[in-house]
Amino acid sequence: MVMRTSPDLHTHSTASDGTLTPTDLIDCAAAAGVKVLALTDHDTTDGLEEAVAAAGRRGIWLIPGVEISVTWGGRTIHVLGLRVDPDHPELGRGLGSLLEFRRWRAEEIGRRLAKVGIEGAYAGAKSLSNGRLVGRTHFARFLVQRRLAADERAVFKHFLVNGKPGHVPGDWATLESAVGWIRGAGGQAVLAHPARYKLTRTRLLRLLGELRELGGEGLEVVSGSHSRDDIFNFAQHAREQRLLASAGSDFHGPQLSISAHPWVGLGRLPALPDGCTPIWSDWPEFADAAASVSSAA
Ligand code: AMP
Ligand code: MN
Ligand code: MN
Ligand code: MN
């Protein structure tokens, strides 16, 4: 039997807010039968070197990636860079500026939570991270440990989103800069989990139009955040807007899922709907991995 190679092009490690080290992530992916995997940590490429080495040992094709935080139209959206050169200086400088904002923001979240009586949240969140990047997810895990909320989702809802005590507003990269850094580093820019933004049709079409004009190439059609309806809806947008379709679990760790769709796991993804052009269709890595899987079968 020929196994279907299922690329998973959106995952996180301890370099950002995942719970597995890059090496453990690769081991988990190998156990799940994944052949092509992108590591796409938030605003950093720090995990890639370790991931590439581990992937080499496991026979996985590791796609170097990043998930860049962008402010567009007053809201935060995420843009994936796939097949980026992690050492490209312009990308490095750009991500550096976002990491600097993240450092200040993490301390500010701590100060704001202290004002509502939650002491030590910054130190607690930092202790749950690798120290390089302290994101909202680390605060969420800390508050759950402190039993201030039942789960991470509840922490976000009650403490970390707009209008709540630990919310810190701020500007991430512009869409233009993020796509520019990705393209400058030789990568392909993909709008991540589009259903999460709850945009009106008009605004969504504007966003997709801008993305394409800037040289962005893809739309994440299959995502751990997407319902089956979302998948078909965004497959149609990809076809209509002539964007390539991507697929990724947005895996953050074995016990964790921000998705309401537990049927999506690391490397366990529904197929792209017919008529979409997969972003990996002309990647040599995918052809090689698919060939090695078929010949082994
Ligand atoms: P940050 O980039 O530090 O602002 O954090 C964004 C991350 O928080 C996302 O990538 C998710 O991992 C996580 N996240 C966002 N919203 C939620 C939610 N409602 N429940 C659980 N985790 C969430
Ligand atoms: Mn995350
Ligand atoms: Mn995201
Ligand atoms: Mn993600």
Over the stretch 140-157, which tens digit does the pLDDT of each residue have? 999 999 999 999 999 999
Average pLDDT, the chain: 92
Tell me the C-alpha distance between 180 and 202, whole Å: 24
77: which 2 tokens?
């959206």
Instruction: Check residue 189 and report its DSSP letter.
Output: E
**Ligand 4 centroid vs 124 CA: distance in angstroms?**
22
| Ligand 1 atom 9: residue of nearest CA | 137
| Confidence category of residue 268, pLDDT binned at 50, 70, 90 | confident
Helices (H), the chain: 22-31, 48-58, 89-115, 121-127, 136-145, 152-155, 175-184, 201-213, 228-240, 284-296
Q: Which of 70, 109, 136, 143 to mutate to test the pocket of ligand 1 (most atoms within 8 A of CB)?
A: 136
**Ligand 1 centroid vs 127 CA: distance in angstroms?**
18
Residue (of 187, 192, 212, 183) closest to 76 by Cα position: 192
Tell me the C-alpha distance between 69 and 71, whole Å: 7
191: which 2 tokens?
């709008």
pTM: 0.95
Show the ligand 1 pocket: residues with CB < 6 angstroms: 17, 42, 69, 135-137, 140, 152-153, 156, 252, 258
- Give the per-residue pLDDT at 261: 60
Instruction: Give the percent of the chain with pLDDT over 70.
Output: 92
Tell me the C-alpha distance between 90 and 4, whole Å: 37
| Confidence category of residue 2, pLDDT binned at 50, 70, 90 | very low
214: which 2 tokens?
């800037």
